[in-house]
Amino acid sequence: MESVLRFFPLLADTPAVFEEWRRLVAAREVSGKQVHDTRLVAVMLAHGVTHLLTLNPNDFSRFPEITLVHPADVPSVSRQAAVSA
């Protein structure tokens, strides 16, 4: 788990995240279960994260502010190289 956390640090849930989420929900008329995806985008925007690796790019297509990356488009890296980095 520690090796994963080195590559993917946790981002704080700050008041800026809430304000960004509220803005996105209103601007994109988001409702239902899509509010959870919107929350993820709000965290990204509040912390300056630009790319999202996802198996479900259609779920995030309403957010042109972020760049979507499908795992199939990521060059493969050996497990050993990723763990030892």
| 15-27 helix and 34-47 helix, angle to the nearest 10 degrees | 130
* pLDDT given for residue 82 in this prediction: 53
DSSP letters spanning 15-82:
HHHHHHHHHHHHHTT--TTHHHHHHHHHHHHHHT--EEE-S-GGGGTT-TTSEEE-GGGSPP--HHHH
pLDDT per position as a tens digit, 22-75: 999 999 999 999 999 999 999 999 999 999 999 999 999 999 999 999 999 988
Distance, in Å, from the CA atom of 7 to the CA atom of 56, rounded to the nearest integer, reads 21
pTM: predicted TM-score of the whole model, two decimal places? 0.80
The backbone torsions φ and ψ at residue 29, rounded to the nearest 5 degrees and listed phi first, read 50, 50
* pLDDT given for residue 75 in this prediction: 84
Residue 1: is its pLDDT beyond 90?
A: no
> Hey, what domains does the chain have and what are their CATH numbers?
2-84 (3.40.50.1010)
